[in-house]
């Protein structure tokens, strides 16, 4: 079961003026489940995004990036049940046909539509089912459909993921709402996830793009479930400009900083929900690296720990076999690392120092921490002033079961 995710209710997700969402059951993989989402945006909405770093990226990623670069976006279409990845030129044609079909319903150009897909890789997209479902989704368009939208983008997720925030800019209330999906094939540099965040704030397109890159780096690029980078990742930020305040035009302004902080908080909470709902997860683990020479080496150590199957299975077993963490630090790739200067903490307990077991450490202390559903692994490198953290989960029997049964 998901680790300490509060129950999401429809009233928790606030509507965004200028954004409407519609859902359909298109039968893309299974019948009688929400699997198609359409998002309609008022004219003048700024849209930007960041995408997977996987070179074998999916057809909808290719088309979405092309359309974002060339058009004023009026709509998004998201299908689950099929990734439309590893499908060659046919997949590109299917993604573009989906955009054209929704554009016709919206009365706009196909280049003004962004397509997104998630599901099984290397299977043809049932494009007729997607296109036939679009009129139903469009008929369902409603500003209050954020909760249904969060349900419609789920694949192996157990729970829908969404969060809203409100701030005040120049005396005007500003709302931010985001939804995300993701549970497996999750690793930094985006994960097998889709995230959609919208705000009614008014901000230039260039600053909006700067904002999403920062938010992604602080959130979705700091999570790992299994170390696999998906073909379909996308995180989209939309700003409708309908909150009523003056447009944010300067990155040095307090309004930009305030909005960026709020958007980043939404992104972090969504990213952590993905880890808490990791396939088969029973533990939520924060890996915190301190006193490194620079951020990059802190990331190297953090990723080595977060990606290790031996460490993740030990956490599942609540087994304080903490030598596995020392081993991961040692192979993280820091060639000039002085292991005698490192301090390793499990929660508040000092486990290792001076190259070995801390004299005061007792295994029952480690056992007590390992029994908790939320655990912090803290590594102090004592090499500088840089620090970072990321979030991961354990590996359980259910992870294998979920992924061995994924296509059935």
What pLDDT digit, counting tens, does each position of 129-147 carry? 999 999 999 999 999 999 9
Give the model's confidence band at 5: pLDDT under 50 very low, under 70 low, under 90 confident, else very high.
Answer: very high
Cα 181 to its chain centre, rounded Å, is 7
Which position among 192, 229, 282, 286 bears the catalytic label? 192
Whether the predicted pLDDT of 188 surpasses 50:
no
Return the higher-pLDDT residue of 30 and 184. 30
Whether the predicted pLDDT of 190 surpasses 50:
no
CA pair distance 260, 211, nearest whole angstrom: 6
Whether the predicted pLDDT of 371 surpasses 60:
yes
Percent of the chain with pLDDT over 70: 94
pLDDT score of 279 = 74
pLDDT score of 71 = 86
Q: How far, in Å, are 30, 50, 247, 278 from residue 68 at the CA level?
A: 31, 10, 21, 30
Give the model's confidence band at 56: pLDDT under 50 very low, under 70 low, under 90 confident, else very high.
Answer: confident
pTM over the 0.85 mark:
yes
pLDDT score of 144 = 98
Whether the predicted pLDDT of 354 surpasses 50:
yes
pLDDT mean over 387-406? 79
Q: Which of 315, 325, 299 is nearest to 390 (CA)?
A: 299
Q: What is the tens place of the pLDDT at every residue in 97-132?
A: 999 999 999 999 999 999 999 988 899 999 999 999
CA pair distance 63, 93, nearest whole angstrom: 9
Q: Quick one: tokens of 14?
A: 């606030």
Determine which of 51-60, 121-130, 138-147, 305-314 has the lowest per-residue pLDDT on average. Answer: 51-60
CA pair distance 16, 39, nearest whole angstrom: 12
DSSP H stretches of helix in 71-204: 88-106, 127-139, 146-152
pLDDT score of 226 = 59
Q: Check the CA dihedral 164-165-169-171 and report its sign.
A: positive
Count CB-CB contacts under 10 A for residue 248.
25
Whether the predicted pLDDT of 241 surpasses 80:
yes
Whether the predicted pLDDT of 87 surpasses 60:
yes
Active site residue 90: no
Q: Which helix (H) or strand (E) holds 326?
A: helix 323-330
Q: What is the tens place of the pLDDT at every residue in 244-260?
A: 999 999 999 999 999 99
In angstroms, how far apart are the furthest CA atoms of the chain? 71
pLDDT score of 236 = 97
Give the model's confidence band at 191: pLDDT under 50 very low, under 70 low, under 90 confident, else very high.
Answer: very low
Whether the predicted pLDDT of 186 surpasses 50:
no
Output 351-359 pairs: Cβ under 8 A, ≥24 positions apart.
Answer: 351/322, 352/322, 352/326
- 45 Cβ contact partners less than 8 Å away, ≥ 6 residues apart: 18, 19, 73, 74, 238, 239, 240, 241
Give the model's confidence band at 229: pLDDT under 50 very low, under 70 low, under 90 confident, else very high.
Answer: low
Determine which of 193-207, 270-284, 347-361, 375-389 has the lowest per-residue pLDDT on average. Answer: 270-284
pLDDT mean over 24-42? 95
pLDDT mean over 195-210? 98
Ordered structural domains, the chain, with CATH: 10-276 (3.60.70.12), 284-404 (3.10.20.340)
């Amino acid at each position: 079961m998901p680790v300490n995710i509060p129950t999401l209710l429809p009233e928790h997700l606030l509507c965004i003026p200028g954004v409407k969402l519609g859902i359909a059951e298109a039968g893309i993989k299974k019948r009688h489940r929400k699997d198609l989402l359409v998002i309609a945006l008022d004219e003048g909405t700024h849209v930007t995004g960041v995408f997977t770093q996987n070179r074998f990226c999916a057809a909808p990623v290719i088309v979405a990036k092309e359309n974002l670069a060339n058009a004023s976006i009026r709509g998004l279409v998201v299908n689950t049940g099929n990734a439309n990845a590893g499908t060659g030129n046919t997949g590109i044609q299917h993604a573009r046909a989906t955009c054209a079909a929704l554009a016709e319903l919206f009365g706009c150009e196909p280049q003004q539509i962004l397509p997104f897909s998630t599901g099984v890789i290397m299977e043809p997209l049932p494009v007729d089912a997607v296109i036939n479902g679009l009129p139903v989704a469009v008929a369902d368009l409603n500003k209050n459909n954020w909760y249904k939208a969060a349900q419609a983008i789920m694949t192996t997720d157990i729970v829908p993921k969404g969060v809203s925030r409100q701030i005040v800019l120049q005396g005007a209330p500003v709302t931010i709402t985001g939804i995300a999906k993701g549970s497996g094939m999750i690793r930094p540099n985006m994960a097998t996830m889709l995230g959609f965040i919208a705000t009614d704030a008014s901000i230039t397109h260039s600053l909006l793009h700067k904002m999403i890159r920062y938010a992604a780096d602080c959130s979705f690029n700091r999570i790992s479930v299994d170390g696999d980078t998906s073909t379909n990742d996308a995180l989209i930020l939309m700003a409708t400009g309908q909150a009523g305040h003056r447009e944010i035009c300067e990155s040095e302004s307090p309004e930009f900083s305030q909005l960026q902080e709020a958007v980043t908080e939404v992104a972090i909470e969504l990213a952590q929900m993905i880890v808490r709902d990791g396939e088969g997860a029973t533990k939520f683990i924060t890996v915190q690296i301190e006193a490194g020479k620079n951020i990059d080496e802190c990331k190297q150590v953090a990723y080595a720990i977060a990606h290790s199957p031996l460490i993740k299975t030990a956490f599942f077993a609540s087994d304080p076999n903490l030598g596995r963490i020392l081993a991961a630090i040692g192979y993280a790739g820091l060639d000039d690392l002085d292991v005698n200067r490192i301090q390793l903490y499990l929660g508040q307990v000092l486990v290792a120092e001076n190259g070995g077991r801390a004299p005061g450490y007792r295994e029952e202390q480690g056992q007590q921490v390992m029994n908790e559903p939320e655990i912090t692994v803290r590594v102090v490198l004592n090499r500088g002033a840089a620090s970072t953290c990321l979030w991961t989960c354990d590996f359980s029997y259910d992870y294998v079961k979920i992924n061995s049964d994924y296509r059935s």
